[in-house]
Structure 1
Amino acid sequence: MKKLFAIVLLALPMAVHAQKVKPNVHVKGTLKNIKDTLSIIYANYSANGKRVVDSANVVNEQYAFNINVTEPVRVQFSAKNAANKKARLTQRNVASVFIEPGIINVASVDSFTNVSVKGSKAHIEFEKLNLASKPYESQMQELYKQYSAYSKNKDKVATDRVEASIDSLDEIQRENVYGTYLKKNPNSPIALYTLKTYSGYELLVDKVEPLFNLLSSTVKSSPAGLEFKAKIETAKLTGIGREALDFTQNDTLGVAVKLSSLRGKYLLIDFWASWCGPCRRENPNVVKVFNQFKDQGFHIIGVSLDQPNAKEKWLKAIHDDQLTWTQVSDLKYWDNEVAKLYGIQAIPQNLLLDPDGKIIAKNLRGEALGKKLESIFSKQTNVKSEVQSKGK
C-alpha cells in the first residue's frame, strides 16, 4: 500500500541541533486561552539538507525562534506540557507553519494547533493547499480506521479492498490537489514543497519531471531545487529498464559483496532494517517467496539501513526472521551508501533485476512479488516445453 508506507516511513536525515549562525527569520509566538500549561516549544525543520531540531521556553505565554533559512521552509512546532513532561506529543499540540525570511508572528488561540500566521506569504499558500486537501484527508482517515479494524480481525479480503481504495484515493488527491495547484501556481513559494508531496517517496520521473520544469528558474536553482533535481536524475538511473547501478558492500562476516557478481539469476535488492516495523512485517512474505523460487533461479540481496553500533541487532533480526539470503550493510542508517546511490527515501523498498542486471520491477510487496515471479518462471517453463516438443 503506497500511501500507508509513505506516511509511516518517509525517510528524513538525522536531526541536529540548530547551529549558531546569523538568523534571518524571527518567529514570535503567542499562546492564548490554551487549556494545557505549555513549557517548551520545539521547532523541527529541514535546512541545507539536514533535519534541525531547536527549542524555546515559554515565558508569559510567549516564545521565540531565530532561524537561518534562505527559502520558504515548513516548520513543525510541537509543545511540551509542563504538567506532564513525559507525556507523548499528540495532534493537539503540533502545528505546521511555513516560514520565510522576515518577522513571522504565530498566534495559537484556544488550542496550540489553531494558529494564525502573519508575515509569511508562503503560509497563506500552505493554508490554501491544506483546504483543498481536507476532503481527501477526511476520507483517508476513515479508510485507515477501516484498515486497522480489518487488520485486527485478520480479514485479508477486506484489508486488500481497503488498501486498493487508499491507493486510488491517494492518486486522485495527488492529481486533483497537488498536480492542479502546481500547474496553476508554478511560481508559488511552496511550489517545491507541493511537488515533493506530489512525488512521494517513489519518484516517477515521467510524472514529476514535467511539473518540476514548470517551476521558476529561481526555485529550480535554489538549494532545495537543486537537491530535488538530483533526485530526479537518480530516479532516471534507477528506473525500470535501466541496468542496476553496481555497488560493493560488506556482508555479515565483513566480506565484500559486489552486486554484479550475483548476475545470472533473477535478483531482488531488498532495502530494509531491523528497526523498521513494516520491513519486519513484510519479511515473512519475502521468506515464503524466496523458499518457493530459490531453486528456479531467484536470489535476494538484503541491504540494511541499520544504525551505527547496531550490528548485533541487525544479525539478530536476520536470525529471528530467517533471512537466509545474502545480507550487506555499512551500518550508516540513512547514510547507507547503497541507499543514497539508489535514492531510497523510505523503507521497505525493493527492485527486481533480470539475469542481465536490468531493473524489471520495483516495490513488489505482499503477494505481488510472488505473482511476478510465478509469471516469469511459468513462462520459462512453457518456453522450455515448446523447445523440447519441437526437438522431438
Structure 2
Amino acid sequence: MKRIFIAALGLLVFACAKKENYSIKGTAIGIPDGTEIYLQELGKNNKRNSLDTAKVMDESFVFTKPSAEGKGLLLLSTALDRQQLILVKDQAPLTVTLYKDSIPSSIVTGSAENELFNTYTKKSRQLNKKKAELRLALNKARQETDGIMVTEYSSQIQELDKQYINSKKEIIDGNSNSMVAIMALSDLINAKALKIEETENYYDGLASDIRKTTLGNSIKGYIAQSKSQRAASNLASVGNKAPAFSAQTPDGKELALSETLGKYTIVDFWASWCKPCRLENPNVVRVYNKYHDKGLNIISVSLDRPGHKERWIRAIEKDQMDWYHVSNLQHWQDPIPKSYGVRAIPATFLLDEEGTIIAKNLRGQALENKIAELLGDS
C-alpha cells in the first residue's frame, strides 16, 4: 500500500484562522551580506509555495508580510545550498539564528509552538543518531559472529524504538491543541507503531481545529481506509465466497471471475512493476502448466498504472503467463484488490469450483504442494 504520509518534518497543516502578519527576524551567522534568504510555505501534497525573499545585510534579515490563512510549516533556505530550516508558522513574531554550515540545526525562538517543535526534533535526532550507531555496531558484531554482542545491540535497538514511540506518545498526550502533536501522530503511523484503534483514539483526542487541518484530514482518511481494508480482508477470508469482480482483458473485453472458475482457481494479484511478483511468476507458470489439464485455472489481476497497458501486456508475454488476465489499470486505486483487502503484492487466493476461498497467499513450494494435494501429483 502506498504510504500516504511522509515524515512529519515534511508536512504542512492548515487550520481556519483570520489573516495575520508574520514577522521573522533573523541573524545570519557566517552568511555573507547580499545572500538571498528564501521563505516558502509547504502546501498540500508538499507543494512549496514561495512567500518572500530577503537579503542578508550586516548579518541580519527580516520577513514581514501578510501570511496565507491558516497554520502550517515554513521553510527557510539560502542561495548558498539546499539545506532548509523548518519553522512552525505562528502568530507570534519569530526570531531565527541561522548558521551557514548547519541550517537545519539553526535556532528558532519566539513562540511556544516552535519551542515544542525544537524539543521534538532534537529528541528525534538524538534517538535516530544513537540508533544508527547501534546498527553499525550490530552489523559489525554479525560480521564477527559475536553472538553475545549481537543480542546486546539488538536489545538496545529495541529499547531505543520503545523510547522513540513513547516520546511521541507523550507529545500527543500533553499537547492536544498543537500541530506538533499531529505531526508526532503522523510519525507513529509511518513507523507502523500503532494499531488502527490506537491511531483513532489519539486522533479523537486532538483538538477539533487540529483534526480539521490538512494533515488531520489525511489521518482521518487513513483511519477510514484502514478500517475499510480490514473489513474487506475479513470478507475475503478462508471459508468465505470470493468477492465477485469483472474487468477488461488485454484485448479490451470484459471478463468476470465467475467465467474463469475451474475445479480450483487462483486469483493472482500482481503488476508488471512488481519485482517480487515477477520473481514468483516462473513458479506459478510451472504449477499452471502442470495442473491446468487437471482443472487448475488462474486469473491474474494487474495493479499496473494508468497508461501502462503495453507494459502490462509485454510482461504477460515475457513471463509466459498463458491464462486469464484482467486489469482496470488503476494502480492501488483499483476496486478489485480493495475488495479483497490486498495491501501488498504478490497476493493469491485459492478458490474451489464454487468460488469459495480455501487458501490465501500460497507461494513457491507451498503453492505447488497445495495444488498437488487437491489435484494429485503425477
* TM-score, normalization by structure 1: 0.59
Query: 1:107 maps to what in 2?
Result: 97
Query: 1:241 maps to what in 2?
Result: 234
- Give the partner amino acid of 1:172: K
Q: Structure 1, unaligned stretches of length 5 or more?
A: 16-21, 82-86, 154-160, 274-278, 343-347, 362-368
Match of 1:39 among 31, 36, 40: 36
Conserved in 1, the CA contact under 8 Å of 2:244 and 2:257?
Answer: yes
Is residue 109 of structure 2 the alignment partner of residue 118 of structure 1?
Answer: yes
Query: 2:126 maps to what in 1?
Result: 135
Shift of 1:246: 8.0
Q: 1:120 to 1:261 in 2, by over 3 A?
A: farther
Is residue 48 of structure 2 the alignment partner of residue 53 of structure 1?
Answer: yes
Moved more, 30-39 or 310-319: 310-319
- In our comparison, the structure showing a higher alpha carbon Rg is 2
Is residue 52 of structure 2 the alignment partner of residue 68 of structure 1?
Answer: no
Q: 1:30 to 1:321 in 2, by over 3 A?
A: farther
- Aligned pair count reads 324
- Give the partner amino acid of 1:54: N
Match of 2:334 among 310, 331, 338: 338
Q: 1:299 to 1:312 in 2, by over 3 A?
A: closer
Conserved in 1, the CA contact under 8 Å of 2:269 and 2:346?
Answer: yes
* Within-5 A mapping of 1:1-12: 10=6
What's the % identity of the aligned pairs? Answer: 12
Q: 1:255 to 1:104 in 2, by over 3 A?
A: farther
Q: Structure 2, unaligned stretches of length 5 or more?
A: 12-17, 144-150, 237-241, 289-295
Q: In the TM superposition, what whole-angstrom CA distance separates every residue of 1:322-350 from its partner, at most 9, and x where no partner exists? A: 6969575658x9xx7439x96xxxxx943
Q: 1:131 to 1:260 in 2, by over 3 A?
A: farther
Query: 1:205 maps to what in 2?
Result: 196
Question: Distance between the aligned counterparts of 2:76 and 2:225, measured in 1?
Answer: 32
Q: In the TM superposition, what whole-angstrom CA distance separates every residue of 1:30-83 from its partner, at most 9, and x where no partner exists? A: 241235774352525134xx4331233332353636542424x334444332xx
Conserved in 2, the CA contact under 8 Å of 1:28 and 1:104?
Answer: yes
Q: In the TM superposition, what whole-angstrom CA distance separates every residue of 1:236-281 from its partner, at most 9, and x where no partner exists? A: 11124244998877677666677898887444545786xxxxx6xx
Query: 1:84 maps to what in 2?
Result: none
Quote the RMSD (CA, aligned, Å).
5.4
* Within-5 A mapping of 1:168-247: 172=162, 174-200=164-190, 204-239=195-230, 240-243=233-236
Q: In the TM superposition, what whole-angstrom CA distance separates every residue of 1:297-323 from its partner, at most 9, and x where no partner exists? A: 6665332446xxx75995799599969
Is residue 86 of structure 2 the alignment partner of residue 96 of structure 1?
Answer: yes
Question: Distance between the aligned counterparts of 1:34 and 1:98, measured in 2?
Answer: 24
Question: Distance between the aligned counterparts of 2:163 and 2:271, measured in 1?
Answer: 28
1:70 aligns to what SS in structure 2?
coil
Is residue 294 of structure 2 the alignment partner of residue 301 of structure 1?
Answer: no
Question: Distance between the aligned counterparts of 1:177 and 1:221, measured in 2?
Answer: 24
Conserved in 2, the CA contact under 8 Å of 1:25 and 1:99?
Answer: no
Q: 1:351 to 1:258 in 2, by over 3 A?
A: farther
Question: Distance between the aligned counterparts of 1:167 and 1:248, measured in 2?
Answer: 47
Q: 1:27 to 1:208 in 2, by over 3 A?
A: same
